[in-house]
């Protein structure tokens, strides 16, 4: 795979799902790579904290104004928040398919058609998808996988269909080289690798704050990133990192060792501790 100039397609179920790989996307955009983010739904039914808070109250105490707010209004708010969050990482190509919620592939076969068209249009080398299996027994609705997994099924089906040409296609078939799943959906022991996003910490915090409709505050955002992305970073020897799981083992021309792995293998213990503490160091001292 080329070091620069790659095209990355991210397919998320809901607007906030983008954030789980946002720092990595920022790294790639800063290198000149192209990134497209596709959101399957507006997310009007997900993390709708204002509505949820009202529905928890006794019926006589509920605000009719809040309850009567349409799902589309909440969805529009989340789309606006998604655009703002993506902008922090330089991602400008953002598309919302506005499929019905909760998303079920069996009820929305048109989702595969729309995604296949996007694959053929942007021709990504890298796909970042939702995980295609439920990651918890609680993530089942009426005995079937919830919408994150359903979006994954639609995405992978579209990816596979894009491999084959059709008479009415205006673009030739396309094979996506690498498919990845954000590590947040897996145990850290299952990760295949992680991307150091220490330089993107503030943007990750701002992206969390952007989702005010979900009740996010700056205090919550900083705590979440420090705990969630910070724990992944600490595991890999960085301040902040985003983990990933490959769809399948990858063929390489030789044994690959990243530049960071080589660099960190030669640093002193003092430099290692300082770096994990957020101190810029030369080997043997701070700068």
User: What are 210-262's pLDDT values in tens digits?
Assistant: 999 888 999 999 999 999 999 999 999 999 999 999 999 999 999 999 999 99
pLDDT at residue 47 is higher than 80: no
Query: Do both 216 and 127 map to the same domain?
Result: yes
Q: How far is CA 108 from CA 75, 120, 121, 233, 248, in A?
A: 18, 20, 21, 38, 27
Would you put residue 255 in left (φ > 0), alpha (ψ -120 to 50) or beta?
beta
Q: CB neighbours of 5 closer than 8 A, spacing ≥ 6?
A: 32, 33
- Tell me the C-alpha to C-alpha distance, in Å, between residue 122 and each of 38, 88, 202, 241: 12, 22, 29, 27
Whether residue 152 contacts residue 129, with contact meaning beta carbons closer than 8 Å, is answered with yes
Show the domain range for 268: 252-287
> Does residue 2 form part of some domain?
no
Residues 31 and 126 in one domain: yes
Pick the range with the lowest mean pLDDT from 52-56, 139-143, 223-227.
139-143
CA 110 to chain centre: 23
- With CA atoms as reference, report the closest residue to 9 among 31, 40, 38, 32: 38
- ∠ CA 182-222-26 to the nearest 5 degrees? 45
Q: Which residue has the higher pLDDT, 159 or 70?
A: 159
Same domain flag for 183 and 276: no
Whether 121 and 12 share a structural domain: yes
How many domains are contained in the chain? Answer: 2
Residues 269 and 192 in one domain: no
pLDDT confidence band for 4 (50 / 70 / 90): low
Using the predicted structure, report yes or no on whether residue 141 has a pLDDT greater than 60: no
Same domain for 12 and 118, yes or no, is yes
Structural domain contains residue 167 = yes
pLDDT digits (tens, 9 = 90+) for 161-190: 999 999 999 999 999 999 999 999 999 999
Which pLDDT belongs to residue 140? 55
User: pTM for the full model?
Assistant: 0.89
Domain check: are 240 and 262 in the same one?
no
Same-domain check for residues 82 and 220 = yes
Distance CA 221, CA 227 (A): 10
Does residue 267 share a domain with residue 134?
no
Say if residue 149 is in the same domain as residue 274: no
Query: What is the C-alpha separation between 82 and 76, in angstroms, rounded?
Result: 10
Q: What pLDDT, in 10s, does the model give residues 26-42?
A: 999 999 999 999 999 99
Beta strands in 103-184 (DSSP E): 126-128, 140-141, 144-145, 178-182
Q: What is the mean pLDDT of residues 52-65?
A: 79
163 & 264 share domain? no
pLDDT for residue 46: 77
Neighbouring-strand partners of residue 243:
194
pLDDT at 287 over 70: no
Considering the domain architecture, whether residues 263 and 205 belong to the same structural domain is answered as: no
């Amino acid at each position: 795979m080329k070091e620069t100039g790659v095209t990355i397609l991210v397919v998320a179920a809901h607007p906030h799902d983008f954030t789980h790989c946002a720092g990595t996307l920022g790294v790639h955009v800063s290198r000149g790579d192209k990134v497209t983010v596709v959101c399957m739904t507006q997310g009007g039914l997900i993390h709708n904290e204002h509505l949820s808070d009202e529905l928890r109250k006794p019926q006589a105490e509920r605000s009719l104004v809040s309850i009567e707010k349409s799902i589309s209004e909440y969805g529009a708010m989340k789309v606006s928040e998604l655009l703002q969050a993506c902008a922090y990482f330089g991602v400008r190509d953002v598309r919302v398919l506005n499929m019905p919620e909760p998303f079920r592939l069996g009820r929305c076969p048109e989702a595969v058609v729309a995604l296949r068209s996007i694959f053929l249009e942007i021709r990504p080398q890298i796909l970042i998808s939702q995980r295609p299996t439920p990651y918890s027994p609680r993530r089942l609705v009426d005995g079937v996988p919830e919408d994150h997994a359903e979006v994954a099924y639609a995405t992978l089906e579209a990816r596979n269909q894009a491999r084959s040409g059709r008479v009415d296609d205006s673009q030739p078939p396309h094979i996506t080289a690498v498919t990845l799943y954000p590590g947040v959906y897996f145990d850290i022991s299952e990760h295949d690798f992680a991307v150091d996003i220490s330089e993107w910490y503030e943007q990750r915090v701002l992206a969390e704050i952007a989702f005010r409709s979900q009740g996010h505050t700056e205090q919550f955002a900083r705590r979440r990133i420090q705990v969630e992305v910070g724990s992944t970073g600490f595991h890999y020897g960085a301040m902040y990192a985003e983990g990933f799981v490959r769809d399948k083992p990858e063929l390489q021309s030789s044994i690959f060792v990243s530049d960071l792995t080589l660099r960190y293998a030669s640093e002193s213990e003092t430099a290692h501790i300082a770096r994990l503490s957020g101190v810029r160091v030369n080997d043997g001292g701070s700068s």
